[in-house]
Chain A
Amino acid sequence: EAQVTQNPRYLITVTGKKLTVTCSQNMNHEYMSWYRQDPGLGLRQIYYSMNVEVTDKGDVPEGYKVSRKEKRNFPLILESPSPNQTSLYFCASSLWGKGDEKLFFGSGTQLSVL
């Protein structure tokens, strides 16, 4: 089954404790992206990647890191999480720029930073 898999679904952590949210897709998509969703603010793009080893900042990249060493994986790293990073995070992938820009979203990660 074609899908984008995010882990974990829920995460509670404390300020300053490094964490990684994993994202993997099995559709051979070159484009992958991370969004955060906050009430009243919609979906805001954190980082995106057009291909392996190619990443670009979105609208809200501060406090986040990403890496794209393999086509299927695009982890989101919070080196020193802060409470303002409490949010619902979505990973997505697509055939962006190849004729089908439909985003396939993962099931989301609800992160709480205390």
Chain B
Amino acid sequence: GENVEQHPSTLSVQEGDSAVIKCTYSDSASNYFPWYKQELGKRPQLIIDIRSNVGEKKDQRIAVTLNKTAKHFSLHITETQPEDSAVYFCAASRFVSGYALNFGKGTSLLVTP
């Protein structure tokens, strides 16, 4: 099955700096790559996703880039704020019927004022 590796496991940045989280995947047929944010004690929530026919997607301060050749994708958060502090999970799958969604182990991001 799909194997998703996520780095780093913890990341600490100062408010206003950028944060980058990287993931690699093993299944070259994977074509859907979401990112979920989980605040302490809360449920995971989708923040952005990208399909394999797109190399980059941006939503305000958040962007995701995808390199299909190298089989890796990254989450970029610019101008970080304390409320960005959370655990972030990447995931990969084939989005057609019958395939599982496999998550990375998560990155705990701390944004210090």
Q: Which residues of A contact B (CB under 8 A)?
A: 33, 35, 40-45, 48, 50, 56, 58-59, 90, 96-97, 101-103, 105-108
Complex Cα spacing A56 to B93, Å: 15
Q: How large is the interface on B (under 10, 10 to 19, 20 to 34, 35 or more residues)?
A: 20 to 34
Interface string of B5-35 (1 = CB under 8 A from A): 0100100000000000000000000001010
Q: Chain A's interface: helix, strand, loop or mixed, by majority?
A: strand
Q: Which B residues are CB-close (under 8 A) to A106?
A: 43
Q: Are B100 and A45 in contact (CB under 8 A)?
A: yes
Q: Are A96 and B95 in contact (CB under 8 A)?
A: yes
Instruction: Using A56-B100, A105-B45 as known contacts, say yes or no to A41 and B95 having CB atoms under 8 A apart.
Output: no
Q: Which residues of B contact A (CB under 8 A)?
A: 1, 6, 9, 32, 34, 36, 43-46, 49, 89, 93, 95-98, 100-106
Q: B17 to chain A: closest CB distance in Å?
A: 25
Q: Which B residues are CB-close (under 8 A) to A40?
A: 9, 105
Q: B15 to chain A: closest CB distance in Å?
A: 26
Q: Chain B's interface: helix, strand, loop or mixed, by majority?
A: loop
Among the listed B32, B49, B103, which residue makes an inter-chain contact with A43, where contact means beta carbons less than 8 Å apart? B103
Q: Which A residues are CB-close (under 8 A) to B101?
A: 33, 45, 48, 101, 103
Complex Cα spacing A59 to B93, Å: 13
Complex Cα spacing A58 to B98, Å: 11
Which residue on chain A has the smallest CB distance to residue B46? A102
Among the listed B34, B102, B104, which residue makes an inter-chain contact with A59, where contact means beta carbons less than 8 Å apart? B102
Q: Which B residues are CB-close (under 8 A) to A108?
A: 43
Complex Cα spacing A41 to B6, Å: 11
Residue from the set A33, A44, A101 with the largest chain B CB neighbour count within 10 Å: A101
Among the listed B6, B34, B44, B100, which residue makes an inter-chain contact with A58, where contact means beta carbons less than 8 Å apart? B100
Q: Which B residues are CB-close (under 8 A) to A102?
A: 34, 46, 49
Complex Cα spacing A96 to B104, Å: 19
Among the listed B89, B98, B102, B104, which residue makes an inter-chain contact with A50, where contact means beta carbons less than 8 Å apart? B98
Q: Are A97 and B106 in contact (CB under 8 A)?
A: no
Q: Are B43 and A43 in contact (CB under 8 A)?
A: no
